[in-house]
Structure 1
């Protein structure tokens, strides 16, 4: 395993990431500052001694450090709050016209992995779910009246249109669309057949246009709906031997961003929410089938489909638009392209060495 992966997956690194998030909470940093200010001087000196602080660190330095920490945490909180409000068309309240036992969701790739787990969570809350997939539905779905499987090739516009008509006949007009289906093939750029590239983009990206054009008009008329794009952190940080996947997921992220802008600016449908979910590596049956990837999965902390599905369902049930990074502490990856080039190149080369065993 590469040095970068070893560092990122080490227990101290993960502990530092979680500690950083904790300290940048205004309630925590504020409490620490108040406790330090109101503590007796004797207690403060005992604390410095217990921390083995060097002589140059005096009580005033600690106080200023805690003040800076509180300032940073407040700025971080304000930034997060403003981002959330902006993503929801500057609304301060959640729409109240959602009744989960009356809502209808369409999800692509819902018969296995993340999609299957998401279907289970939606149906459990009473949502009626239509699955578009070329795989057969699992047995557990077959006797559930709230789940209906529609065999559909999402790369074929006619197939999507026919499946959409059957959904309307059986359930009605959907208010939730989850573009979840995704595939990849581990080729280098020079070795990848054009038909594979085309198929990957058709599933991971082009199908989003087809499904949105099919189901969005009704959502816009009601000014109510939620379109969820399941993308990937790989759409922000490219990985060797995955150009097809990374490029198609980058395109899906751009699609999500533009869709939100057009709903607000062109269609006056700011009640139709858009969310993007960016998981890190996920252990799915599809990835398990790729030769050589199991060794990499054994060395990298992998998410489970259940973890990602929990986040997708939580985002839908929150009645808010947003960007969901899974795990949340890896949201910093979304700014990867703004990092110094020497760090980007080191990271890509490190991941490239790890990808060399994948066939």
Structure 2
């Protein structure tokens, strides 16, 4: 928007000023001066089209609601569920939520750090792939903290194996944690949100949803599936449950520095000038979006990734080939 305003101001100055003054400001011949003004006009038009497109995208992502409405949210009385909240991005999300006075329930199989413990956060050891454990934890949360209005499905694991190396047990585990658990948590917490006509469900995906790489096929599949889950959930809330008030968001982080990327960090940094995000920065963006009371998609990386599949096949394959050597280790929980 700033660029469009700057170009518009420059164009207005050149058009409104006497031609003699304009040519003084820009010492060009009459022909070159006219060409410059014409080019500037086209640049402004492109900027305006881009801004209009971005605005329409935000409107669509927000269920055709033009702006966020936080009037129905009292953050000090809201309860958030964060899966996988003991480490990495999840732990940073918990910390950010607490800074807004939101009460937080952490669901994780890993122990929760004592440094974040206070009266507004409670840890529940829970395997989110178990419907029974999730329901038991949910009942305890409702008793301890109140009815949850925010669900952040953040838990995720990764493998670093080729398709032939992948064992059935590890394959089932990554799909259970990264994708199928979303059905369990949403089925547990969404019904009450519908009754309240208020809620926010956020899913943590990855830019891997847009491109499959050697050594992480299983991970990319779960994140692509999560994209479809988010789209379907959004549609059902609008057209089946008539409840567009419930916000739905999906986050696509780029490579993020957590314990999951430690084994391949050097390979990431050596690939096509890739960078690694800090978990704190990812969490900050996620929580700011929650506080904005809007639905949406958060692309945390090169925007070109989202349009890779619209590119010619040869160009898509060049991009994938350039990143094929990032995940070459053989390990579990090696990618984020």
Deviation at 1:126, TM superposition (A): 0.5
Which residue among 304, 307, 322 is the counterpart of 1:350? 322
Which residue of 2 is the match for residue 277 of structure 1? 251
Residues 30-63 of structure 1, C-alpha deviations (whole Å, 9 max, x = no match): 2332344446202212xx7xxxxxx9x9222222
CA distance in 1, matches of 2:161, 2:7: 47
Q: Per the alignment, in what secondary structure is the counterpart of residue 98 of structure 1?
A: coil
Q: Per the alignment, in what secondary structure is the counterpart of residue 278 of structure 1?
A: strand
Whether 2:265 is the aligned partner of 1:294: answer yes
Deviation at 1:350, TM superposition (A): 1.0
Whether 2:2 is the aligned partner of 1:27: answer no
Which residue of 1 is the match for residue 111 of structure 2? 136
CA distance in 1, matches of 2:309, 2:224: 12
Deviation at 1:355, TM superposition (A): 3.3
CA contact (8 A) 2:82 2:106 kept: yes
Q: TM-score, normalised by structure 2?
A: 0.91
CA contact (8 A) 2:126 2:134 kept: yes
CA distance in 2, matches of 1:239, 1:36: 50
Which residue of 2 is the match for residue 108 of structure 1? 83
Structure 1 runs (4+) deviating above 4 angstroms are none
Q: Per the alignment, in what secondary structure is the counterpart of residue 104 of structure 2?
A: strand
Q: Which protein has the bigger helix share?
A: 1
Which residue of 1 is the match for residue 145 of structure 2? 171
Q: TM-score, normalised by structure 1?
A: 0.85
Deviation at 1:87, TM superposition (A): 2.2
CA contact (8 A) 2:86 2:112 kept: yes
* TM alignment of 1:322-333, pairs within 5 A: 322-327=296-301, 330-333=302-305
CA contact (8 A) 1:188 1:241 kept: yes
Which residue of 2 is the match for residue 257 of structure 1? 231
CA contact (8 A) 2:257 2:276 kept: yes
Which residue of 2 is the match for residue 81 of structure 1? 55
CA contact (8 A) 2:67 2:294 kept: no
Which residue of 1 is the match for residue 294 of structure 2? 320
Deviation at 1:358, TM superposition (A): 6.5
Whether 2:311 is the aligned partner of 1:336: answer no
Deviation at 1:187, TM superposition (A): 0.4
Q: Per the alignment, in what secondary structure is the counterpart of residue 252 of structure 2?
A: strand
- Cα RMSD of the aligned pairs, angstroms, is 1.9
Structure 2: gaps spanning 5 or more residues: 332-336
CA contact (8 A) 1:36 1:44 kept: no
Residues 328-351 of structure 1, C-alpha deviations (whole Å, 9 max, x = no match): xx2231121111111110011111
Residues 268-295 of structure 1, C-alpha deviations (whole Å, 9 max, x = no match): 111001011111100101221x3xx132
CA distance in 2, matches of 1:317, 1:200: 30
CA distance in 1, matches of 2:140, 2:6: 53
Q: Per the alignment, in what secondary structure is the counterpart of residue 91 of structure 1?
A: coil
Compared with structure 1, are the counterparts of its residues 32 and 183 closer, same or farther at alpha carbon in structure 2 (3 Å cutoff)?
A: farther
CA distance in 1, matches of 2:221, 2:10: 44
Q: Per the alignment, in what secondary structure is the counterpart of residue 286 of structure 1?
A: coil
Deviation at 1:161, TM superposition (A): 0.8
CA contact (8 A) 1:281 1:303 kept: yes
CA distance in 1, matches of 2:137, 2:242: 28
Compared with structure 1, are the counterparts of its residues 111 and 32 closer, same or farther at alpha carbon in structure 2 (3 Å cutoff)?
A: farther
CA contact (8 A) 2:200 2:247 kept: yes
Residues 161-201 of structure 1, C-alpha deviations (whole Å, 9 max, x = no match): 11111111101111000000111110011211111111111
CA distance in 2, matches of 1:111, 1:326: 22
